[in-house]
A and B are shown apart, each in its own frame.
Chain A
Amino acid sequence: GESVGLHLPTLSVQEGDNSIINCAYSNSASDYFIWYKQESGKGPQFIIDIRSNMDKRQGQRVTVLLNKTVKHLSLQIAATQPGDSAVYFCAENIRSGSNYQLIWGAGTKLIIKP
């Protein structure tokens, strides 16, 4: 079946550098994408979302880019800080009738090097 996947399971970044976390999706019917952050021992926390009629969306220190041509989205974190250490999940929204279903990727672990 179709699923969301991530290119890299672990990403190590120097503190202060920018981080780019990638995500591939395969369901052409997906109309909405979300990034979540999960810190150790906690539940996932919403970061940012983007709809399929957009190419880019910015938040505080984060930017999500969506390339529908190659079914790829990325999460960019500017000036990475130790508090950014976490597992990052992308999820795609698939509509089924009047209901919505989120399909989650396996996650990318972001490690910050001092």
Chain B
Amino acid sequence: NAGVTQTPKFRVLKTGQSMTLLCAQDMNHEYMYWYRQDPGMGLRLIHYSVGEGTTAKGEVPDGYNVSRLKKQNFLLGLESAAPSQTSVYFCASSYWEKIGSWGTGELFFGEGSRLTVL
């Protein structure tokens, strides 16, 4: 099992360029997430999806778009990159089994994609 795979792992962009990060999971998880991680800060949720064809905004959605056309894939797009988007991006997936009124919180993360915007 590959788990969660992110491509590319590294990318350098110029301000104003566009790009797409691809996340693929082979665990048949319903939920998928895109986070960014900046030095000295915790993970911040950009967008997430609760199933194929659905997307929702997280804490810091501005400047990003996402799509979930297939259950196993979750794409993160930057239409016009800005230096403030320099970060490490993590994709994650989870199944959120519900036991009574509880959910389980195990997210499975990819290895990360380091993006630098000049």
Contact = CB atoms under 8 A, between A and B. Distances in A.
Interface of A: 4, 9, 31-32, 34, 36, 41-46, 49, 51, 89, 91, 93, 99-107
A4 B59 CA distance: 14
A102 B106 CA distance: 11
Contacts, number: 59
Interface residues of chain A: helix, strand, loop or mixed (majority): strand
Interface residues of B, number: 24
Interface stretch (B12-20, B36-44, B63-71, B72-80): B36-44
Interface string B43-55: 1110000100000
A59 to B, nearest CB: 12
Contacts of B44: 104
A50 to B, nearest CB: 10
